[in-house]
Amino acid sequence: MKRFIGFIRKEFYHIFRDRRSLFILFGMPIAQILLFGFAITNEINNVNIAILDHSKDTSTLEIINKISNSKYFSIKQIISREAEIESVFQKGKIKAVLNFEKDFGRNLIKKKSAQIQIITDATDPNTANSITNYINAILQNYLQEKNKSIQLDYQIIPQTRMVYNQELKSVFLFVPGVMTIILMLVSAMMTSISITREKELGTMEILLVSPLKPFQVIIGKVVPYIFLSIINAAVIVLLSIFIFKMPVEGSLILLGAESVLFIITSLALGILISTISDTQQSAMMISLMGLMLPVILLSGFIFPISSMPAPLQVISNIIPAKWFIIIIKGIMLKGVGLAFVWKETLILIGMTVFFIAVSVKKYKIRLD
């Protein structure tokens, strides 16, 4: 144990005496937070929606047909009661619910005005906004055709409502993504660099000649980064709560536990990278290209997974960050409990075990 503390102390010396480490540890999070400011607009494609039709007349049918014929939406569910809306959203597949008022068709003809409610899941505010705009466009289009054919002036009054994250603060959307990236950077990239550094300098050999076992060396190298990652995660969450006034709807304990799980997944990845690279440079390149890029592009952090081409959607499944983002979005923005994210959690655990097993195997080979 005493050996271990000495080892960890040494690791902290390395970190605090290296400008690059310090920058990645403390500068990157700040740089990332600046990203918050940028609004990113997205095209939408085949978004799953549900219909709640209280009227079931020819006009609602025509509108529903028009929507389902567009390439932007696919109608996945028909519900019959308001009470079902909440549960539909919690499952996470459905991004919007269209709620036609009672006597929609009759009101349209008699009062020349009918109401429809567009309820969107604003956990992802960019997408929610786009969905609303696209549906509005389809409704306008429908009215134009109608008005042309019977020379009358009807209108449909769409009423929009966003559930979860009602103010559409995109910061809230970015927090889970930024947190994921930072945890990944600190855990995977920094550990892989710090392990390959010892290889490059030749000190790894000295450590392996000492009575320390290889796994003790690795654990010693990894522990400081667990600490730092937890601190980073906590800082991000606290910043979001106190500066951006983000409500964390779910359990902080669950959020913490899931974050630790993801940190361990990333560390395992970092160790794996260090077993296949001999220089810090290559460890960094592999981390950036092999981890950061997919996280940014494919995890659903910036581009909604549902609007990616099918092959990329499939690939996105092997990215641990995707599952972590689903989990923490659920916990932070929807307030769901483990009952709703156990599947994603199991997937992360499975990936972690797999990465650790592969690195242990690789490590043995490398020590030939």
Partner 1 sequence: MKNENVIEVENLTKAFGAFKAVNAISFEVKKGEIFGFLGANGAGKTTAIKMLIGISHPTSGKAKVVDFDVYTQPEAIKRNIGYMSQRFALYDDLTVQENINFFGGIYGLSRKAIRQKSKDSLVELGMHEISSKLVGSLPLGWKQKLSFSVALLHEPKIVFLDEPTGGVDPITRRQFWEMIYKAADQGTTIFVTTHYMDEAEYCDRVSIMVEGKIEALDTPKNLKQQFKVASMNEVFLKLARNIE
Residues that bind partner 1 in the complex, under the rule CB under 8 A: 2-3, 6-7, 9-10, 13-14, 17-18, 201-203, 205-213, 367-368
Give whichever of 211 and 309 is closer to partner 1, judged by the CB atom: 211
Give whichever of 170 and 196 is closer to partner 1, judged by the CB atom: 196
User: What is the Cα–Cα distance from 352 to 263, expressed in whole angstroms?
Assistant: 10
Yes or no: say if 44 and 89 are a contact pair by the CB < 8 Å rule.
Answer: no
Rounded to 5 degrees, φ, ψ at 124 are -115, 90
Give whichever of 7 and 89 is closer to partner 1, judged by the CB atom: 7
Q: What is the DSSP letter of 290?
A: I
C-beta atoms surrounding 213 within 10 Å = 10
Give whichever of 11 and 121 is closer to partner 1, judged by the CB atom: 11
Report in angstroms how near the CB of residue 204 gets to partner 1 at its nearest: 9
What is the SS3 assignment for 55-90?
A: CCCHHHHHHHHHHHHCCCEEEEEEECCCCHHHHHHH
User: What is the Cα–Cα distance from 187 to 102, expressed in whole angstroms?
Assistant: 54
Report in angstroms how near the CB of residue 213 gets to partner 1 at its nearest: 8
Give whichever of 3 and 343 is closer to partner 1, judged by the CB atom: 3
Report in angstroms how near the CB of residue 185 gets to partner 1 at its nearest: 21
Name the token pair of 156. 């449909």
Give whichever of 3 and 111 is closer to partner 1, judged by the CB atom: 3
Report in angstroms how near the CB of residue 18 gets to partner 1 at its nearest: 7
User: What is the Cα–Cα distance from 42 to 81, expressed in whole angstroms?
Assistant: 31
Report in angstroms how near the CB of residue 29 gets to partner 1 at its nearest: 23
Report in angstroms how near the CB of residue 286 gets to partner 1 at its nearest: 24
What torsion, rounded to 10 degrees, do the Cα atoms 17, 20, 21, 27 define? Answer: 120
